[in-house]
Amino acid sequence: MDAKVAIIGAGWYGCHLGMMLDAMGCDVNIFEKNSDILGEASGNNQFRLHLGFHYARHNRTRIQSRDGYARFTERYPTLSKPISNNLYVVPKYDSLVDFDTYRLIMFSSGIHFQELRKNEWPEYLKDVDGVLKVDEHVLLIEEARKHFKQKLEGSIRLNTKVNSTEKTDEGVLVDGEKFDFVIDATWGHLTDIDYDCFYEPTLLLYYRYMGEGEYPAITMVDGPLCSIYPTEKKGIYTLSSVKHTPLGKYDTSAEAKQRLREFSNAELQSKIEVMQKHVEQFVPDFSDNFEYVSPQLNIKTKLLGEHDDRSCYVKTDDRMISVFSGKIDTIFFAAQKVCDYLERYVHGEI
């Protein structure tokens, strides 16, 4: 396809879209404000290649993740790796759905799992209703950086912040330079986007496992619970708590960024305490096995609504495309939508 395309943002979405459009023959130009790619949400998250187990309450997100996982492991086989013991645990008292319902939702969604018998449950888990062993992977961000930088060499403009986009009769101007199409892949940080969404500053905590071998990935579901998930670095895990990870809810990206700038050391210390307490409700010996390493601060852009929708949406408006990211493995959904739009536009169907 003979089109000059600007992609704003070199996160997972911008890089994957860049690869796809490059393969289609487009002249791809990725603008990234930072000095490296995958430097914001894409490089600072829980690094879970979702399969849908997180989303018992949202069918669309669950199905996008289930399908995205299959496509991701096929398309990028070196950018994630399996976790030998990856457990989703439904606790007896705090889950929004009971274990039988949870298992039924996953089973009827066609997501593969192994149900553990009671005598196979880890003995250190407390008040458990049921446990599934799953195939979710952990994402390898350093490998991903290398991969995309090599494949997209010459197409990425680092340290280049976009300040304005403007439509003209023949195309779209990005800071004055003309393109046939522009894709906003900044997860809502370029302009206030046309989605009912909010910005949630977040705190995850990195911990070092002090024991032998590998500690399992443990995700308590469903609802305001917590999880311990490995990273690509040996022995380093993230602790996340749906109750304590969010640091507020803001209407604009600027306000959310300001909140992170104001986050103090005293606040961090009290967060470490409450997040550890939270996980110890379910894994009482957490502090005996893990030592705190450092915080991870970031911003999630989330759709408003009560149904836990974390799926991906794409909006198009006369050569301008805006991507609202879902999970990382839903990049394929965005790519399909973008590709359909460009082809229809170029063939005069729009």
Window 311-330: contact mask with ligand FAD (x via CB under 6 A): --------------x-xxx-
State the first-to-last Cα distance of the chain, in angstroms, to the nearest integer: 16
Contact present, 28 and 21 (Cβ < 8 Å): yes
Task: Specify the residue, 98 or 232, whose C-beta has the smaller distance to ligand FAD.
Answer: 232
Give CA–CA dist 208/234, Å, rounded. 9
Contact present, 322 and 193 (Cβ < 8 Å): yes
148 interacts with ligand FAD by CB under 6 A: no
Stretch that binds ligand FAD, among 11-19, 55-63, 74-82, 218-226 (CB under 6 A): 11-19
Q: How many CB atoms lie within 10 A of CB 221?
A: 24
31 interacts with ligand FAD by CB under 6 A: yes
40 interacts with ligand FAD by CB under 6 A: yes
Which of 5, 6, 9, 19 forms a contact with ligand FAD (CB under 6 A)? 9
Cβ burial, residue 269 (10 Å; 0-12/13-18/19+):
exposed
Task: Specify the residue, 103 or 137, whose C-beta has the smaller distance to ligand FAD.
Answer: 137
47 interacts with ligand FAD by CB under 6 A: yes
Which of 5, 6, 7, 14 forms a contact with ligand FAD (CB under 6 A)? 14
128 interacts with ligand FAD by CB under 6 A: no
Window 166-185: contact mask with ligand FAD (x via CB under 6 A): -------------------x
Give CA–CA dist 268/265, Å, rounded. 5
Q: Mapping DSSP to helix (H, G, I), strand (E, B) and coil, where does residue 103 land?
A: helix
12 interacts with ligand FAD by CB under 6 A: yes
Q: How many CB atoms lie within 10 A of CB 133?
A: 15
Stretch that binds ligand FAD, among 106-114, 123-131, 187-195, 207-215 (CB under 6 A): 187-195
Torsion of CA 223, 224, 230, 232, to 10 degrees: 90
64 interacts with ligand FAD by CB under 6 A: no
Q: Mapping DSSP to helix (H, G, I), strand (E, B) and coil, where does residue 166 land?
A: strand
Give, as ranges, the residues between 76 and 95 that touch ligand FAD (CB under 6 A).
none
> In whole angstroms, how close is the CB of 347 to ligand FAD at the nearest point?
28
Contact present, 46 and 227 (Cβ < 8 Å): yes
